[in-house]
Amino acid sequence: MLTEKEEAFIAYWQKEREHEKKSLMQFIKGLSRGLLIGIGIILLLAIGWYQRANMVANTQLNPFLFLFIIIIIAVFIAYFYRQYRWEQYEQQYLELMAKKKKQTPTA
C-alpha cells in the first residue's frame, strides 16, 4: 500500500517529468553550488592557506584563465547536478510504480 506522500509524488512526477529534465531552475541551483566551490578555491588562495600553491598560482596562472576555469567548473557542476536530481526522482518514481504494480491484483 502506497502512502499519501508516495501517491502525491507519483502524480507530481508524471506531470512534471519532461519539464524537470529541461528546467532552467535546476541548472541555476547547480550553478550556484558550482560558484560556491569556485569562491571557496579563490578564498583559499587569497588567505594563503597553502603557500606553495599560492606561489605557483601567482607566477604561472593568468587571473583571467583562472576565472574562466572557475566558470567552467561551475557550469559542469550545474549540468551534472540537474542530471543527478532528475535521475534520483526518476529512480524513485520507477520504484514506486513497481511497488504499485506489484500490489495491484491482476485479474
Average pLDDT, the chain: 86
Over residues 23-71, the pLDDT tens digits come to: 788 788 888 888 898 898 888 878 888 888 778 877 877 888 888 988 9
Structure confidence at residue 93 as a pLDDT band (50, 70, 90): very high
On whether the pTM is more than 0.85, the answer is no
Report residue 80 as a C-alpha cell: 551534472
CA dist 100 and 38 (Å) reads 43
